[in-house]
Structure 1
Amino acid sequence: MVDLVDDLGSFTFEAGLTDAEKELLYLRVRASGLTFCGCAHAVFMCKLVQSLRCIIKSHNARDSLASGEDSGLCVGIIGMGHMGRQLLFALLEKSAIDPSRIKISTRRPASAVESIPTAGVECFFDNRRLAAWADILFLCCLPSHLTKVCEDLHSQLSKRCLVYSFCSAVPVTRLAQLLGHDFVLKPQYDFMACDTADLWLSCTHLTSALTDSWLIEASCPLTMSGGISLGLKWMCALLYSLLNICTFAGLGSADALSLVSSVLREKWPHTVGLKAQSFVSVSCASSLLKEKPFPWISLTDAQTKETPLLCFISSCKPMQQCLSAVYRSLLSSRCTVDLHPSHDCGDTEPLFLMA
């Protein structure tokens, strides 16, 4: 079918705006870019964690320890506003997580169920139940609801549960305090004027955008383009979270370094060797026995302070290339979940990072 108004400028969204309003169009671009990058980075994190869990299971099986343990990742989402829905679609499209291992807690579960694009995803309103079950818990609630949500989650979160926050109004230090939990990861995006920012306008259909190699490249955390940047501290905190997962599993420091390196090497054979002093101070590394686990790392500190890992990655170009290559590889791979076309994210309203 031919679109009769396709070439008529007077029918475009921008045509009805005043000059003053047109100056704010960059906010529409930024919102689309934030939504895409937020979902892409969340998927990347989930795939890294899942890969590590599978390798830990295989390692334990070889050592005849807990060989029957389940490596499947349990993912919870609190909030089914804009960001919660976009994240759900992204996880189903790109993460290969079984839908039965994704659960949602929302204030209106009955209406949320109608927008879930595949069977198996459970939806209810019980934040405490979700916190006790999840390995990764995404906070996609409104800032005005966050205090109540944190009250629900406080003392309910397992030490192993990685909380990932999309609530931009609350810094990670305050969030960790409200939750009484230091295993919290929060992306901190920065913005700058850029001639290529309009590329994010093609992210209207999120599930289609997640297959676009140009957009995947533009969202690569260490080399982001399009006027949005994330910085090295997020990537450092993500790698520290992998180390914490190994610590929680009781792995010695030598095994932890080997398995984290294996996760990266699966996608990039030129992985730089990781050493204990890549993650902790020289004094701590020198006193750390190979069979002794790494100390538990506060992700709050990893995102707010200068760390050995930040210094290592900042000065090591091959490691930066490795992490970027791993990101592109994991985001370019597809899963087998089939999303019904009617549930694609193809509305024309701007998409925002917060629900």
Structure 2
Amino acid sequence: MASLSTRLNSKAKELPDITLNLESLQFESALTSEQKKLLYLRVRSHAISVTLCAQASFFIDVYNEGRQLAIQLKNRQKRKARILKDLCERDPLFIGVLGCGHVGSQIVHCLLTYGRVEPDELAISTRRPETLEYFQNKGVECYFNNVKLVSSVHILFICVLPSQLPGVAEEIKDHLSPSTVVYCTASSIPLKKLKQMLQTTNILQPDFYWETGNNSNKDYDYNMKVGTALKNRDIVEQTNPFTNKVEDLVIVPAKHFGEALLHGFLNMLSDSGLTVEESLDILHCAMFCETEKQTVKDRLKMEDFFCGKIDQQEKFPKFSLFEILENGSPLSPRIKQSPELQESFSKRYWEVFEQYISLNAYNKVK
């Protein structure tokens, strides 16, 4: 009987799958002609998920590195070593994710994979923490206590539905530290309303837009997993907040999002007590691949961030990320007009994902 079963199974493997690519079994076959006109939304939805995860991974990776370089500088070690894992002392960047549904869980996956985040530096507050066994087994603390979460983190990702946001904001607004960066994924909520609800200007909101009719038919594989997409350099470059190739994009990142990221980075360094000169050195190391052996010739200067005059040995003033997202700054055109800065930023942006690919290739992923 066993041998007969084996022969039948081997025969079945030889037979072609006649249902493969059969039109009547495809998702689109059940749609009306009017519904089929909306299929392009699947492409946009996937592109938004990939962009959210890519930018969040970059954001956390470079902020983490900047934090370690700052403590390294304070300890009078080499300023531009760009070493994260070998530091004797680590200044942890504590990250909280409020809401762990589809978007939140994707971001958590990517932060653990690409953002060089230690599991014990990441916490999740969700209404159903018992469903997050996978993250708990990795060492991530999962619970349902929004106030506890926001009171203990440097970076807060809010990944709840827009309808839930007013209630969540009311609950946490009085417990947010002025230095906590709030990264809200609900782009349908106007930025001004978000500021009013959360009572903070330290907000990052990765909004997206597209040109109607110009990108509906882009060649884009929306069936691939987000993690797979982030191993493709061309796809990752499409999420770069300073990209100039807008005509090639399915969705376009928020106009001033990259500027806000860099200004928030300087806020973090100023909170650590670093001067303008020290902050700019670390900025170029962490975000523009500068090392002792390879310096950026077309360096950013104080005037690219701040119109007033202050001494290089003073701290940068506190920047309102809300104002930068709303009105921009001189920084974006400055970077886009500098091929060297663009190339350096693009290289560092891809490095976030390339380092994981390299470690995975040599079976060195934890």
**TM-score strictly above 0.5:** yes
Task: Rate the CA distance shift 1:15–1:30 in 2: closer, same or farther, 3 A.
Answer: same
For the pair 1:73 / 2:93, whether they are aligned, the reply is: yes
The alignment partner of 1:164 has SS state of: strand
Q: How many residues align?
A: 330
**1:333 corresponding residue in structure 2:** 355
- The runs of 5 or more residues in structure 2 that have no matched partner are 1-12, 78-86, 361-366
**1:245 corresponding residue in structure 2:** 268
In 2, the alpha carbon distance for the partners of 1:332 and 1:79 equals 28
Letter of the structure 1 residue corresponding to residue 346 of structure 2: S
Once the 2 structures are TM-superposed, how far is the Cα of residue 171 of structure 1 from its aligned partner? 2.1
In 2, the alpha carbon distance for the partners of 1:141 and 1:29 equals 22
Letter of the structure 2 residue corresponding to residue 92 of structure 1: L
Structure showing greater radius of gyration is 2
Moved more, 84-93 or 316-325: 316-325
For the pair 1:104 / 2:149, whether they are aligned, the reply is: no
Work out whether residues 139 and 163 of structure 1, in 8 Å CA contact, stay in contact via their aligned partners in 2: yes
Once the 2 structures are TM-superposed, how far is the Cα of residue 130 of structure 1 from its aligned partner? 0.7
For the pair 1:259 / 2:282, whether they are aligned, the reply is: yes
In 1, the alpha carbon distance for the partners of 2:202 and 2:236 equals 27
In the TM superposition, what whole-angstrom CA distance separates every residue of 1:76-100 from its partner, at most 9, and x where no partner exists? Answer: 1011111011111111221121112
The alignment partner of 2:116 has SS state of: coil
Task: Rate the CA distance shift 1:69–1:171 in 2: closer, same or farther, 3 A.
Answer: farther
Letter of the structure 1 residue corresponding to residue 271 of structure 2: F
- Higher RCO (CA 8 Å, separation ≥ 6 residues): 1
**2:241 corresponding residue in structure 1:** 221
The alignment partner of 1:103 has SS state of: strand
In 2, the alpha carbon distance for the partners of 1:46 and 1:241 equals 12
Q: Percent identity?
A: 29
**1:324 corresponding residue in structure 2:** 346
Once the 2 structures are TM-superposed, how far is the Cα of residue 337 of structure 1 from its aligned partner? 10
The alignment partner of 2:151 has SS state of: helix
Q: 1:38 aligns with which of 52, 56, 81?
A: 52
- The runs of 5 or more residues in structure 1 that have no matched partner are 339-355
Task: Rate the CA distance shift 1:72–1:197 in 2: closer, same or farther, 3 A.
Answer: farther
**2:188 corresponding residue in structure 1:** 169
TM-score using structure 1 length: 0.85
**2:3 corresponding residue in structure 1:** none
- How do 1:185-204 and structure 2 match up within 5 A? 185-192=204-211, 193-194=214-215, 197-203=218-224
**1:160 corresponding residue in structure 2:** 179
Once the 2 structures are TM-superposed, how far is the Cα of residue 261 of structure 1 from its aligned partner? 1.2
In the TM superposition, what whole-angstrom CA distance separates every residue of 1:60-86 from its partner, at most 9, and x where no partner exists? Answer: 1118xxx99742221110111110111
In 2, the alpha carbon distance for the partners of 1:210 and 1:250 equals 35
In 2, the alpha carbon distance for the partners of 1:226 and 1:270 equals 31
In the TM superposition, what whole-angstrom CA distance separates every residue of 1:92-123 from its partner, at most 9, and x where no partner exists? Answer: 22112111211111112223x24537421111
Q: 1:48 aligns with which of 57, 62, 86?
A: 62
Work out whether residues 93 and 335 of structure 1, in 8 Å CA contact, stay in contact via their aligned partners in 2: no
Once the 2 structures are TM-superposed, how far is the Cα of residue 57 of structure 1 from its aligned partner? 1.0
Letter of the structure 2 residue corresponding to residue 194 of structure 1: N
The alignment partner of 2:123 has SS state of: strand
**1:351 corresponding residue in structure 2:** none
Work out whether residues 134 and 161 of structure 1, in 8 Å CA contact, stay in contact via their aligned partners in 2: yes
The alignment partner of 2:149 has SS state of: helix
Once the 2 structures are TM-superposed, how far is the Cα of residue 318 of structure 1 from its aligned partner? 2.9
Once the 2 structures are TM-superposed, how far is the Cα of residue 15 of structure 1 from its aligned partner? 1.9
**2:103 corresponding residue in structure 1:** 83
In 2, the alpha carbon distance for the partners of 1:178 and 1:185 equals 14
In 2, the alpha carbon distance for the partners of 1:126 and 1:335 equals 35
Task: Rate the CA distance shift 1:226–1:321 in 2: closer, same or farther, 3 A.
Answer: same
For the pair 1:295 / 2:295, whether they are aligned, the reply is: no
Moved more, 44-53 or 71-80: 71-80
TM-score using structure 2 length: 0.83
Work out whether residues 95 and 335 of structure 1, in 8 Å CA contact, stay in contact via their aligned partners in 2: no
